[in-house]
Amino acid sequence: MPTQQPYMLENLADAPRVTSVALRSLDVTERPVGGFPSGMADEDRELARAAAAGDTRAFARLVDRHHGPCVRYAARMLGSLEDAEEVVQDTFVRVWRALPRYDDLAGFRPWLYTILINRCRSRRLPLARQAQRLQPLDGLPREPAAPVVDEAPQFDAEALQAALATLPTEQREAFLLKHMEDLDYDTMTQMTGAGVSALKMRVKRACAALRERLAP
Amino acid sequence: MTRDPLTDEQLGIAAGRALRAGEWSRPAARAAILAAVAQERQPRSAAARAWHWLTTPRPIRLSPAMGLVMVAIVAGVAALLRPRPAAAPAVAVAPAAATLPRAAHVTSTPTVTRLTHFALLAPDARSVTLVGDFNNWDPTATPLRRVDGTWHVDIPLAAGRHAYAFVVDGGEWVPDPAAPREQDSDFGRSNSLLLVQRS
């Protein structure tokens, strides 16, 4: 269990210079659907270095590569595509500002997600005050998932989103990182600042709640 | 017949697949990010940042007490810099030095200006103008416009006390019948008084 602290969003300048986190955790290859092809992390690192030196084209490449998954995560967290795009834009602007201090850390993507996760958490605060309104599904893609041949059940994304919206933020966050983003617990710890056992518990509770809400 | 309940792993895989489906990255949203980033300044050198800091206007909050202290410091510096009368012709330097504290005072209490309406009932007049300390008593500076038998004008006035009168037909100075009179009027004329409130 790594002992470094998660970088807090508010003062990235003070983020510890972590260089020894297991990079293998980034290369999720066993499930290519949501995972990140290996080798992308290396390319990200090169692009991030170039962008840190002021290369806007390299930065545009980083945006192209990560924008979709970031929007997807934020949209699933917030229940609104519009909010998600705003949060992701804010996230990338912060990344651009902090890039001159970018020091490889543990890789570009965990760093990006650390910021994104925090932006989503801050974004939820005002929403939570709106009398716990039901999450509307405004603008989220409604394409059915690609048909699969195995025995796994097919979930309706809309029903799933509605069920997710009823979960506590921490559980939704952990569930999405684990099962939508296909991350391992070490990486999730690094991104969220929560311990592995706490994250496992959140995912477990989220699964239990979703199973109940999605039961036919 | 009911299926066995899903394990967490099965649920996670199926849910993950459903949640990922679809295209999430709109070109317009990506373009908006790059536009926002383009607006951000490129990382700057320390000197450039210092210059930027120095030249960027910013509001300053100042307590009245600190304002007085600063005025006192400026006045003290001005007094120290004031040349001795014998040493140099004081004419050019002394007024400049003397204005320093006043300038500091003016910036710390911004002038409040209010649009003020003047009206005079004078159905027989051919022209009416307004004179006062705000236009150096110039009878041509502020003409009133006739609406039926009444003459009107709106002018911005700084907060504070103003003396004024109307000039009817280019000659006669008429005090405002609806306003108090100035006590010690110059030239035997009786001017009206107006107090423009600060708020």
Is the confidence at residue B155, as pLDDT, over 70? yes
Closest by CA position to A189, among listed A201, A122, B17: A201
Burial of B39 per CB tally in 10 Å (0-12, 13-18, 19+): exposed
From B14, B36, B42, residue closest to A152, measured CB to CB:
B14
Q: Which residue of B has its CA nearest to A64?
A: B30
Residue-wise pLDDT for B100-153, tens only, equals: 444 444 444 557 788 888 988 888 889 999 988 888 888 888 999 998 888 999
Asked if A33 and B16 come within 8 Å (Cβ–Cβ), the reply is yes
Per DSSP, the three-state class of B173 is strand
Interface with chain A: mutation pick from B1, B17, B40, highest number of A CBs within 10 Å: B17
Interface with chain B: mutation pick from A85, A156, A210, highest number of B CBs within 10 Å: A85
User: According to the model, what pLDDT value does residue A145 have?
Assistant: 57
Label the pairing between strands B172-174 and B145-147: unpaired
Residue-wise pLDDT for B28-87, tens only, equals: 999 999 988 888 755 566 777 788 788 877 777 888 899 899 999 999 999 988 876 554
Asked if A157 and B34 come within 8 Å (Cβ–Cβ), the reply is no
Interface of B with A (CB under 8 A): 3, 5-6, 8, 10-26, 29-30, 32-34, 36-38, 40, 42-43
pTM, 2 dp: 0.53
User: According to the model, what pLDDT value does residue A209 have?
Assistant: 94
User: According to the model, what pLDDT value does residue A154 have?
Assistant: 80
**A21: enclosing H helix or E strand:** none
> What's the gap in Å between the CA of B21 and the closest CA on chain A?
5
Burial of B53 per CB tally in 10 Å (0-12, 13-18, 19+): exposed
Size of interface A-B (CB pairs under 8 A): 125
> What's the gap in Å between the CA of B58 and the closest CA on chain A?
22
From A72, A96, A180, residue closest to B40, measured CB to CB:
A96
Query: CA-CA distance, A205 to A170, in Å (whole number)?
Result: 10
pLDDT tens across the length of chain A (216 residues): 444 444 444 444 444 443 333 333 343 333 333 345 557 788 898 899 888 888 889 999 999 999 999 999 999 999 889 999 999 999 999 999 888 887 765 688 988 999 999 999 888 655 554 444 444 455 666 666 555 555 667 888 888 999 999 999 999 999 999 999 999 999 999 888 889 999 999 999 999 999 998 876
Is the confidence at residue B4, as pLDDT, over 80? no
User: According to the model, what pLDDT value does residue A175 have?
Assistant: 96
User: According to the model, what pLDDT value does residue A36 have?
Assistant: 52
SS (H, E, C) chain A: CCCCCCCCCCCHHHCCCCCCCCHHHHCCCCCCCCCCCCCHHHHHHHHHHHHHCCCHHHHHHHHHHHHHHHHHHHHHHHCCHHHHHHHHHHHHHHHHHHHHHCCCECEHHHHHHHHHHHHHHHHHHHHHHCCCCCCCCCCCCCCCCCCCCCCCCCCCHHHHHHHHHCCCHHHHHHHHHHHHCCCCHHHHHHHHCCCHHHHHHHHHHHHHHHHHHHCC
Complex confidence, ipTM: 0.73
Q: Which residues of chain A lie closer than 8 angstroms to B17, CB-CB?
A: 33-34, 145-146, 148, 152, 155
Both tokens assigned to B135 = 């236009």
Asked if B5 and A144 come within 8 Å (Cβ–Cβ), the reply is no
